[in-house]
Structure formats: C-alpha cells, structure tokens
Structure 1
Amino acid sequence: MTKSTRWKYSWRARLPVAGIVVVVTAGVAAAVTGAAHPLPGLRVVPGGHWVYNSVLHVAFHVDGGTAGIDAQAAVPGDQGSQVLQGDASGYVVGSERITEFGKSDLTARPSMVPPAVEVPVGVETVGGPYVVYRRAGQIARLGDPVATMSAGGPVGDPVAAADGTLWLPRTTSGLLCRLDRGAVSLSSCPVPLPAGHGGALTLVGDAPHFVDTTDGSVRAVEAGGLGTAVPMGVAATAELRPAANDVAGRVPVLDPSANRLYLVDPAPNPRKPIVVALPAGHYDGPVAGGSVVALVNRDTGTLLTFDAAGRPTDAKPVPPGEGTSRLVRGEDARVYVDGGQGTHVLVVGKDGKVTDVPVVPPAGKPDQPVPEHPTPGQPPVPRPGTGSQPDVDAGDKPKPHNPPPPRNPSPPAVPASPPGAPPGVSATGGDGSATVSWGAAADNRAAVTSYRISWAGGSRTVGGGTRQATISGLANGTRYTFTVVAVNKAGTGPGASASATPAAAAAAPKLTATYRGGRASLSWTQPDLGGGQLVHYVVTGTGLAQQTVSGTSTQYSGLSAGNTYTFTVRAVTRTPDGETRNGAAASKSITVPSPKITISQGAPTTTDNCDAPDCARVNVTMTGFAPNTTYAIRLSSDSNANVQTESARTNANGSLTYDELDYDEPGQTIWVSVMTPDGRITSNRIQWKSR
C-alpha cells in the first residue's frame, strides 16, 4: 500500500484523458450566476441526485420523490463531469479537475487535481464519497480527510456497505480487498478468489457477495474467505454482468451475449432464476434501485425497467443531447439516467415508472448566463430590478432608445472538439486473430475520419465508416486488450477497450474403428486443443444417435449386416474467453459383415477314414467373415452332427476357400457350419452322390 496523500488545490491543472468510461459532449453556453444562493429555508440538500448541466456549467439537484429541481450551484467543470455528494459537500468530478461546492451555501470552492487520468467510478456512501480509478488502482476519498490510496494494482467495480466499508476486487492478484470507513489505506485483502476465476461483487441485503462468472455461482464474502458456492442456474460466461446490489433478495445479472436478464437467488437451495428476454442491442447496466431493475439499450436509446419478478414496468427514450447518457443509482436508492449534456434526467420511481425531468433553473431562480470565470473588477451582469437598469413602474413605459437587455441571449457557436469514445467495443478471439467491433463515436461537430485500434505489439487505422476489424498474427493463448479511439479534424478522442484471447479450434483426433461381436468399437487419442480446454467429444454414426463422450472411446450396437457406417469424432473446446468451438472431425467407415458359406461336392480322394469310390473333397467357400481370423469349420450330416472339424484362417477381405474336408456316404445330406461372435453360420445343404 502507498502512503495516503492529499491533493494540491489548483484552478489551472490540465490532464489529458487516456480513457473515458462515460463520455458527455455538449455545446457549452455560459454558466448561470457565479454563486447561486440556496432556496429559502434550504440549508443542506438531502439525498437524491445531482447532475451536471455542461451547457450551463451548473450542478442541479433532483428530488427523486417529487421529480423536481430544488437546488443549483454554479460550478466550473469539464464536459462529461459527474456529480457525487457527501454529507456536507458535493463534488463535480471531471477528467481535468474535481471541484467541491457546499450543499448549504451552494458555493464553489477551489478545484483539485484528479489523482489519475481516467474517469473513475463514483461511490456515494458514509465517510465518502469515493472515486475509484480502476485501471490506475487508485482510490480517492473526497470526504474528510481527503486522501488517495493505492490498491496495489488494477481493480474492478467496487461496492459499499451501509456502514461505509468499501470492497474491491484486485483483478491481477485474484484478491478481494476491504477499505474501512475513515481508513487512509486499504485495510486488507483478506479474501482470495478461486485460482483462474473471474467475476464481480454485488451486495445482497448489504452483505458483499462474489458473482463467479467462471463457474456460474454466487458466494458470500465471509471473514476468512468465500462461502459455499450457490449455482446461479445460468450458463457461465465471462460476459455476465451483475448489478451492484440485489432486488428483493435476487441478484440481477445481465448476459449481453444472449440478450437476457436473469434474477438469480443467492440463498442456499436456490430458487430457479427468473429469465427476462431482452430486445437485441448493446446494454448499459443493470442498475438496481429498491425493487426496480433498469437497463439502457444503447442501440435504440431506450431505458427499460423491470420489477423484482422480471415484469416490464416502463420503457422510455433516454434524455436528448449530444454524448452518452449515464445510468446511475442515486443516494436515495432510486435509478437515474443523466442525458448526454445533463439537460434532462430520467427518474425511475419505486414502481418502475419513468419521469423525464428537464434540468433547468427552478421557477424564481435567476437563469441569465454569466461567464464561468468573471474577470476581476468586471461589472456584474445586470439583472432586472438590481439598479443596473432603471426599474420601470407600472405606469411608465421604457424609452424606445433604451430597451431592456434580452434575458436569454443565444449562446455562441461551439467549436468542434475531438470525438467521443466509441461505444459497444467488443473483441472475439479467433485462430491467431481477434475480431474487434465498435459503434459510431459521437463526432462532436466534426465528422469522424478514422478509427485507430491499438494493442500490445501493434496498431491499425481504418476508415471513419468502419465498425469492425480483424487483427491477425496474434499468439494463441495470449490475452490481448484492444483499445479503439476515434479521430476527427479536432483531434483524437478517448479510448474504449475490450479484451480477447485468440485460440484455435481443436485438431482432428486419431480415430480407430473396429467391428466385433455385433458392435462397432471406436477409440481415439486426444488431439491438439488449440489453446482451449476440452469440454467433451461429439461422436456420430450414419443413421445412428449422436453421442456426447467425456472419455476417448465408445461403442455402437444394433448395426445391420451388410451395411456400411461412417463414424466421426470431433473435440468441443472452450476458449480462455469462454467461447465454445467445434474442432476438426476424424472419420472412419465400417462395413458390417454379412457372412455366407457355400459348399459343393469336389474331386474324388482317398484317406484313412474315407474310402473310394464314394470318397470326395467337400469344397467350402466363406465370404463376409472377419478378416484374418481363424474359424473352426464343422462338417455335419443327417446321421452325424460332427463328422469332421477343421480350422482355417480368413484373408484380409474376410474370405477363404477350403477343401480339406472329405465325405463318402451316398444319399446323406451334409452341410458345414462356423461359430462366430454373432452366432453359428450354416452353409447350404447338399445330398452326397455316388461316383
């Protein structure tokens, strides 16, 4: 852990933005009055939600219960700023500065320099608020005392319990870390995760739980480690995204690859998950507030809400404005959606119904724009009735040559700025390659001319109309992070990233197929899995049922004599990214024998047991038998079941011709039989003739 530090105050600090999670672009007009006064009778603004209007450079407070604006504070801020509140202060958190303002006097204070060059995740909780810079592994407490703390490496999304304890997963070391209220360093990282497992934290009844996306389970975070794994009842995939808290005891989990929302039960002996089918699209969320779950479909620009049973409760367009909307849970546990410029907010009620709230000064509040940073000594902007302009009595008329100034002059044209971050960045691994996809970035008043994809070891630039690129020459089994940025004439925008691990499909197994005893026996060796993990083998046979096999052998029975069957075996693997792939198939064909024996009376002969003139050879022809196999050939007659037995071996085709048997009883009917694993095979019958 590093020693905690306090930030230096600075109005002029400027830091480049390396990566932005939520991007808001706006046409900046002028700020409202430099130091807004609190409403009559309002000393400290209660819970609810603050939003930053980047057109006016004003932070507004939204009362979720009334869906109205009840306070405002003129605060300098950056485009895309979010507002977090503590007990006595609010904070406008941007990419270049963090500015505190009092919640009682609604007056801005000097700005702070952010401790890292990325947009953080904000956490409103007692002892805070906190801002967590995930890639940099930095945690900043904005409350008293102001401090920054190192997590010792990158971290995932945090959760905060009601007592102010902050929990964070440390992604590179597989540990869950705890930051106690008021601490100046991480208290400890007491909980190890299962080796090789990934996931995210959530709160169930204010108790931290770990949602394991590797094995599809939920585990309570206990003092000495993780509790017993409770299966969620959904397919495990690295893309599963849980909400930060439960609704009515169930954890909302989004599967973006299947466009499904699950409400899973983390209790022992869990109930079946509730499955909600979602329209196609790319989603932000889920965010849970009270008994409501909310998601934003970025493709259609729609806020969707559901109750604790997964039933739809409302669907509304996201607020207008350039940039990307922000889906958050307010300090009052309601869900809010801030518009791209902060000029509108959607408020989700406790019943899931959505109200669109314009973010404008409340009635009776002055709303004439003033410069964000007035020049010292510059006279204030006139306001009606302040003495800067003559007051007009009811019976007086203003002089034509001295009209009152307009209250709301049109803002100046806003120049172009670099594009926003490309939305919906995703990456899928292939064989030595990865396919990266993204949505159109906000152009911010200048057309996007190109996109640049970069990764460890290379970069590639494509046209502004391109939405997908395949990167080749990568190493299978190595995880790559791909960052996509948009470029226009004003510059290069912030990046958005996704990761993928290239992996090949499995090679074909080496297959052996034999037929014996009425069964086809198949066996094979495990092939090269191409960097993936074996799931099972899939075996097929002509006209036969498909088999799923975990080992390296199987059998088929009930085959028909004389038919040819072709068998295939392929390995099914799971890539390091959780994708399932079918490997190359090996095939072998088997023709089921249709054995046949034919006999005839052959040439005359004389032996010790066979006398002329009636002694002759018995010609035996066998076909369709097992190749290279020795059989006992038994000669029988009407009067003797076993006149003579000889042994002979078939050739590679399963055939043989044998003439070592002899017979000498005219008038008797004779035949030959052979015992096989499928039973005794008998020849035709002939009557022996005298010579």
Structure 2
Amino acid sequence: MTRIARAIRRPVAWWTVAALILGTFVGLSALGRGAPAVAFQQAGHWVYNATVGAVFRVDGGGKSVDAEVRGVQTEAGSQVVQGSTNGYVVRADGVIVFGKSDLTVKSTVRIGIPEEPIGIEAQGGPYLVYRQHGQIVRLGDQQQTVTVGSVVSSAIATADGALWLRNAEQFCQLAPGSTTLACQLPSQAGDAGALLSVAGKPAFANLSKRTLTPLTGDTAGRAMPMDISGSLPTTSVVAQADVNGRIPILAGQRLLLVDAAGAKKAESIDLPPGRYDAVAATGAAVAVLDTDKRVVRTFAPDGKPLHTHELSKKKGDRKSGPRVTAGQDGRIYIDDETGEVVTVVDGDGTVSEVDVDGGNKPVSPSATQKPTASPSTPTPSSTPTSTPTSTPPTHKPILPPIHVTVGPEKPRRTETVEPRTTERKPGKTETTRPTTPPTPPTPPPTKPTAKPTSKPTSKPTSPPPAAPGAPGSVSAKAGDGKATVSWAAARANGAAITGYKVSFRVAPGTFVVGLPESGAVTVSGSTRSHSFGQLLNGGGYIFTVAATNRVGTGPSVDSKVTSINGSAEPPSAPTKVSAATKADGSVTVSWTSPSSSDYTMSGYTVLGSDGSQTKAQVYQSSISLKPALGKGVSYRVTATNSAGTSPRSAATRTVYPYSPAAAPKVTATPGKGSVSLTWTAPNLNGGQLVHYVVSAAGQADRTVTTTSTRYTGLSALQLTFTVKAITRERNNSSSPTATGAAGSTTAAPASAAPALPPVSTSAARVRRTSRRRKDAQW
C-alpha cells in the first residue's frame, strides 16, 4: 500500500484535498496555473442548491443526501466550506453561517472584499484566500484577517494543517492557529509554476525550469528534474496532490503523469479535443474535466483510460462552469452550476450522479444497488399486498422515496424507487462495468387462489404538492431613482405557481427622509420582472423575490446590494487622517472611511506635499510609504466612488522621515593613564541627534552630547572604544529613537611617570649641596 493510499484511510486531520474552483482561478503565465487550494475537508461534501434555497450534505459512499439546511438565500453557484462545528456559505459580500449539528442558519458575516475567494478547509480554519487582494480570512468563532501583502498565485494546505502560499517573491507558511505568516523561502520570482502536496508535504512544480522542489521548514530541498517530453506551456494546470507518486499536469490537450522521484519518464496521454480546465487526483485515479463538452475522463496512475462520463446539461447562469472538489473520503465531487446535481468520482475512477434534492440518480454501478421494478410493469401476485411503512430519515428529503412490493408473495421484499427515472440520458456513456442483471420475477402459481390481475399490486405514488422552490438569478438594474428587479422561474413542486412576492428594503447604512424605506408587491406567476420607483439616488437597496402556490410561499432570495445611480454624489473626505514615522525611514498614513455603507466606494488616494500620489484599496485604512529622509512632508487623503472623488482631507502634521545614523569616525589619543576620544559627527540620515553612547571594555557606558570624551585612571592595557549616535524624528520628542551604526577604535594609555620624593627631603638636600659648593669656592 502506498503512502497516499494509507493517508486516505487516516483520520480527518490527515486528509489532503484539493479545491479547484473553476472560473475563480485566473491563470497567469508569469506565475503558472495550479489548482487554487488543497483542503482538509471534514466528513461529507456540502453543496448549495439555489433552486431549493438550501444547503445539502452529500454522502459520497452511499450516493445520497443525508442532511439539509433550509432558509439559505444567496447567489447560485456559491461555494460551501466547513469547520469542525459550523458550515459557511460564501456569498459576494460575506458568509452565511449554519450549524452542522442543529442544521440551522446562525448568522450572516460581512467581509466586504470584492473578489470570489478560494475556500480551503484545514486545521484551524476554514480559510478564504482572496488572491488578487492578498488577504486571508480565517472563519470561526472569531474571524481573523491575515494580510499577505501581494497577489497570491497559489495556495495549498498540507497534512500537518499548515497553509502554504506563493506570492510574487516568496513562499509563505501559516501555521495552524497562527495569524503571522512566515515568509522565508524565495519563490523563484518570474518562473511559472504551482504549489502542490507530494506525499502530504509541500512542493513547488516549476513549469519554466521543469523541476520539482520540496519545501521543508525554513529551507528548500534540491530541485529535481521532471522528465517531460514535448512542450510544457507555462499555463499548464498542476494538480494539488500526487497519486501513487505521479503528479498530474494538464498541458493543453495532453495529460502528463510526472514521476515525483524523477526516476521515470513522464507518461503522456493525448486527450480528445476540448477545453480542459481542471485535474484532480483521488485514490488510485486521476480525473480531468472538459468544460466545453461537459465530460469527465478518468485515468489510472499509469495513464490507462478508465471511464468517460457526460455531465448533466448546464442549468443556471453561472459562467465559470462546474466546481470540482477532491474530498477527504478519496472521492472527487463535481457540483453543477445550480447545485442540483453532484457528480461523484470514486477512488477507482467510476462515476455516479446524485440528485441534490433528496433523490438519487446513479449512473455508475460503483454504488451497490438492488434491481428495481419499473413502475409501469405489473407485478404478479395472488392477492394484493399493501406497501410496508418505512421509518422516515432523520433529515427529511424534499421528495420522499416511493415504496412498492416486487417479486412473489412469499417471501416479500421491498424496493425503494426514487421519484426520478433511473434511465440513462440519451447520448450518455456508461461509465463502469455492467452489474449482474436483475433476477426475473417468479412465475405465478399454477392454481392461484385468486384470479390474477393485470394491474400491479402497488402503484407508484407522486409526492404531495409542496411550496415552491427558490427563484433563480435575482438581480436588480438601477436607474435614476428607480430599479428593475428580474428573476428566473422557481420550481413549482407539484402545484402551479400563482404569483411572486417582490419587495425592497434599504441596505444597512442607507437613511432616507420623505421616501419609503421598504415596499412589496405581488405579481402573477408568469411575470419575471418588476420596477420600483421613489428610491434614493446614491442609496443602497436589497431586493427580494419569493414564489407562492396553493400550498404556501417558498424561500425568498435576496439580490446583491444595489446602489441607485441617478445623481449620486462623490463621497465626503476621509477623516482622522494622521501620519507617523518609524525608525526604519517609513511613514504610516492612516485614515477613517467617510462612509461604511457606500458600496460603490472603489478606493483611496494618498497625496503627499512632496508631490507623491499613492493608491490604496477600498478595504485599507492605512498605508506605509518611504519618502525622502530628512525632508518634511505632510499628507492628505481622498476617497473615490462611482460618482467621483471626494475633497481632500485635512493635512496631517509635517513629518520628517529618518533612519539609523551612519557610523562616526573615532580617533583616540593616549595619555599618561588616560585616553582621549574624539569623533566626527556622522550622517544622521534625516534624524535629530539625541546623544552619543560611548562604550569601552570594563567601563560603564557614557552618554555625551559633544563629539569628545576622556577616560582616566586606565591601566596599560589596550582597549576598544565604540561610539554610536542615537537619533529621533526632528521636532518630535515622542518619536521612537534609532540607534546608529557603531564607529570604533583601539588604544592603550601611556606608561605612568616615576613617583617624586617628598618635598621636605628634596629641599634639605638642595640646601646642603649649595653650602658645600660655596665652601669649596672660598
């Protein structure tokens, strides 16, 4: 058993999954293409069904739906991620939180980053990676945001729960539970490639150099060559994990299976013409998706074709195509555009379809199934039999199964026949080996106790009518003081739709005076649009549509927040604008947005008195700049929305950027038992001198404000003296201090002079010597 095969059977913390979000991932030739995420997915696969307005859990093993959460209203095609206790439906402006145990919606959390993220399920997560904005949002009881600082080209999670990212310059690691990125490995800037997990460990597939580099801790391993023949476009798609030591790569119309150890030549499989956008590994198989023809093809690790399966016809208006997720259970899940059908690829490459409405529509016998009797075929029996009663499931499906009795009277057995037909669609290709044909019914007895009847003993019954499903594609087109709401028809669920209730309400942060804050109208069941007037130009509104039939009213669906254009005005100037220096020469400019409810806000511009102009994103409230050192500069900030640019804010105080001073040139002059030091004033790099710190071995540090000092009482030993300048921002005594570079020199004091005799003794000797000389003269 290979390491990957063993990993598939480990607990949840060791499952490695790849979430390939088609359409949300944009291939960059400079950075390569990779599957956008590797996730540690919890048990089960969750999908949002926009038609029903509910979230469903798909059991890949049983090919069925075993849980659902009602009352979820968001856009079709929204992805769903999950943590240990909650699930999260990702919508355009945030997430809808639901409990996995009580199956109820808990709250809606606004995020406000204008980009569809990559969802990654990992220990300490789940995470939403906003690639273009360089932001990571950790979902949970306490939502946290981690700033990457540049565009993220690819992201994966490894078996230890670490999140790995590649930006323009580095590989970064986010440890489980941490909010600090460790970016220590260079990312071979300019090379096309993608991150992936090989045997549960991070690695980088360099498409430009055709190498595979393992990433381990603080270092990168040796780059191993990938033995690939023929062309390898820099836009090739790299799978997020290997399968049996082979790395799947989509290279145009070829599927490459690259030996991760570099010991064997890569297998090359020519694919039929099509547009192949996704590749994923599961169990002992590789799956590729042709989004143009809506066909899934599976292959063995050695390149042998396994199965070909045609997806259901496209529904809804999601332009990016199906969403592919590799699950922890060794299966691949493919959600259609509306979430109504999930295609399951098993570990051996077989394919099945599950209707995400409580029904089951297998197209592959990989799931064990019993033969079923056609509802139109009578079942011989001596006497009519009643339909046995079954215990309802814990989570009630939308369309309950129908129970009929088949076979001879004794022994009786029941079969479950789903409401939808199980016949193959025209043109579909059978994806697996055929199952054993069903056993023919036992002929009736020679002498029946009752006259045989040509009617079946139990007729299939239709499910009772229910309230309608959710309307699709709810959107609003704004005009001058008005908006037109449009939608797609809702599912009738057994009773004709009699009307739609269309309503509006002001979005949070919009305040109106003299105009209605909300309103509603009911239109006929054949109507697909309605216009509202008396709306505030520049205000934000949410429009809601719900369908009604004789049973009741179905789930309502909200539009995105719509800003009424008309004569909208530019925003007010940002407030609380400030500038602060740091000891590294940078200046941080901060501000407060003029409005938290202006959904048309597009960004900010920071204007410096030195003539600089710096753009900031709409989600930012501060920015770090590097102006010229020592030159005074102040800043103003403007905000921009769909109507224009605000006036300039009030100016910040004048700041003087500075960095640590250069090293002074130190000169030492020895004296008898002393050393005198002098030094030149260094380049202060824009700072203002606070003092100098002078140090010598065995001596206490001195703080001086001049350029000289003298050490006395020294022994005849050579000493090293150092001098550093301490600076701060000009005219700002509260600014942080910067310690400059050290200037140093070595010196030893001169030898000490011999001691003189006492004064009294010397004077006496001088007097006696003087008398002797005088006596000699006489």
Structure with more strand by fraction: 1
TM-score range, shorter chain: 0.3 to 0.5
TM-score normalised per structure 2: 0.42
TM-score by length of 1: 0.47
